[in-house]
Amino acid sequence: MGNLFSLTIHVKAEANLFDENEKAYIEEEKTLKVGYVSDRKPVSFTGDNGELSGISRMIFDRIAEISGLNFEYVEIPQGEITYDYLLEAGYDLVTSVEYNEENKKARGILISNPYMSSRKVIVAKEGLKFNTNDSFKVAISTGSQTIKKVIKNQYPNFEIVDYSTMEDCLEAVNKGEADLLIQNQYVVEYWLYKPIYRNLVVIPVMEMKDELCFSAVTPLDASGEKQEEGELLISIIDKSIKQMSDAEIAGYAVTSALENMYEYTFSDFAYQYRYMIIALGIALVLIIGLICMSFSFRLRSIHSKAEAKAKGDFLSAMSHEIRTPLNGLISLNYLMSQNINDRDKMTDYLKQSSAVSQYLLSLLNNILDMSKIQEKQMKLEKKPVDLELLLSAVETLEKGAMENRKINFSMDVDLVYPVIEGDAIRIQQVILNLLDNACKYTQKGGRVNLKVIQKLNNDGNILTEVHVIDNGPGMSEEFQKKIFMPFTQERRTVSQGNQGTGLGLSICALLAENMGGHLSVDSRINEGSHFTFVFLGKQSEYYDDKDKDLLQGENIAAKYDKQYILVAEDNELNGQLMVELLEGEGFKVRRVVNGKQAVKVFSESAEGECKVILMDLLMPEMNGFEATKAIRALERPDAETVKIFASTANTSQEDRDRAFSCGMDDFIAKPINISELFEKLQK
């Protein structure tokens, strides 16, 4: 993911970048000790390798590349850090220091020019009425000395409360021990993804510039002056920073933010759904019970003995698959009621309950899918499918699992017609299912190969063959005859600990048939398996080689002339990226952070000046649905004709229907497919 958004631009340093004194300093080849605060993710933190990671590390690596300096990174202990401590501990540099006049004049400290500009934001509980003249308790971590001084000078009514870490500060605000937290925007956005902090919000009323720099810790001479060696070091760093473009540093910020997004843990899950886990199990019992009753009623209407036997076998197998995990859920519910005060046991029971519930949920989804396909109620889409893009996504999704099992995963793709008409989601579903099975059943150190080839049928359809080949345990000939029947698993492989619903391949086979193709298998015990998925699709007339240029943003932007695109997006990072993307392609862009502002900007623009509105659905003050209705209700001709696209991560059919009913023209799901966006702008 990091490579996808990285904007790194390598700038080769000029030979005469440094003067003779600076070159002599560099040629000493001594290793400089760099101190950093570890709880400022994604700016600076200790990574999985035990070293400094984040934006600061990327900048240091680039400085080392440009200058030839050597760095060693050491975490600074929690607590109030003084110059004397840094000097005695042997630190040469400190990272992520705020660039301000006070730090410039600090005893024994020399600071570099800023390498990154952000802002400080206020975090508080939702609903807090903020006024700078009121008295508030402000939670500050012990490593944030500069923020303390700013608050004392500018907001004397605020009471500062010290906490050891950033998370301690957030806990204090969340529990009401403190009213506010003031911290760097990047750091705050990382922590607010944690479910326990969902009731905390950023208050955009007080803005403080937050320019980050590096500081050199230099001994003082007899007269109290800072020694020249520190000045040389800062000069080298400043010159190195100057070699980096704004785009390069912005790329580091975006890459680090995306690569180090908050990881959702089991404890987060248990907290967020603490009242629903047991209820989920009960609900699943009722739902699956209704499905069993439905199948039972359907059996009464089947007159054919052969069909009745087949349905009976299916119902018997389904009953077995359901009863086993239900027995586990019932037992877990009893154990939880008996050990409700034992935190360790409850944590273990919840984890087991979650796993069983997920299994039941997947079983229910698969049963419903099978029912829809068999009853011809599942309609496959016929839209342009970019197979190159689809297969690239498949490779990304499977690569991690294959690497974890130390399986050699390879792809051989030969596409004559890369864009065909079909249902991308269902095609991907079949391929992923086949690869997941291959990964699950192939032993560590084995190999899995995905091979895709195409040819033109006599009827003009494109026949695409997908081959998934592994050298796993293989299957008996007898089992291969029934592998695509529901609830079928060969016990000699299941006994090795591989568990599934036994419906995945049945659904894949039905989907393949609905695509005009088939799913087959050829396998030998102890040699491996070869699955072949064949499907048909016409060549897409909408998108072929000669039309690819139409999807380039620059060509489309030229047609917009003096008109602009209005981006309504409250998330700062998403909004910034979208603006930069569109402006980089030549579009004129304006951005607002809520629906109320979107209505105001549109109503104040000249008629026809706003061409398209990219409208997020969930925004503060006025959401996207309300804003769209308000714009459509304005008494001006372009209020009816301006194109409004829903731009949101809420992709359910209910959200889509609501978007269209309130007056939106189209729907763009996040994460946004750039080619799809350009297609819609072209239209």
Predicted confidence (pLDDT) per residue in 203-240, tens digit: 765 556 777 888 888 777 655 565 677 888 889 989 98
Beta-ladder partners of 386: 419
538 or 356: which leads in pLDDT? 538
Q: What is the pLDDT of residue 166?
A: 79
Residue 188 φ/ψ, nearest 5 degrees: -65, -45
pLDDT at 450 exceeding the cut of 90: yes
Side chain identity at 24, as an amino acid letter? A
42 cis-preceded (ω within 30 degrees of 0)? yes
Taking residues 147-164, report their average pLDDT: 80
Taking residues 46-62, report their average pLDDT: 86
Helix (H) or strand (E) holding 110: strand 109-111
Side chain identity at 259, as an amino acid letter? E
pLDDT at 634 exceeding the cut of 90: yes
- Split at pLDDT 50, 70, 90, the class of 599 is very high
Record the tokens describing residue 543, joined without a space.
């998108």
Mean pLDDT for all residues in the chain: 77
Q: What is the 3-state secondary structure (H, E, C) of 166-235?
A: HHHHHHHHHHCCCCEEEEEHHHHHHHCCCHHHCCEEEEEEEEEEEEEEEEEECCECCCCCECHHHHHHHH
pLDDT at 448 exceeding the cut of 90: yes
Helices (H) and strands (E) in the chain, counts: 26, 24
- Judge whether 116 and 186 are in contact, CB under 8 Å: no
CA 438 – CA 480 distance, rounded (Å): 15
Q: What is the pLDDT of residues 494-513, one digit of tens each?
A: 334 444 545 678 888 888 88
Helix (H) or strand (E) holding 514: helix 504-514
Helix (H) or strand (E) holding 355: helix 343-374
671 cis-preceded (ω within 30 degrees of 0)? yes
Taking residues 185-203, report their average pLDDT: 76
Beta-ladder partners of 73: 34
At residue 452, the 3 state secondary structure works out as strand
- Please enumerate in sequence order all residues whose Cβ is within 8 A of that of 28, keeping only pairs 6 or more positions apart, or say none: none
267 or 37: which leads in pLDDT? 37
- Judge whether 576 and 604 are in contact, CB under 8 Å: no
For the chain, what percentages of helix, strand and coil (3-state, to nearest 5) are there?
45, 20, 30
Q: How many CB atoms lie within 10 A of CB 112?
A: 23
CA 358 – CA 384 distance, rounded (Å): 33
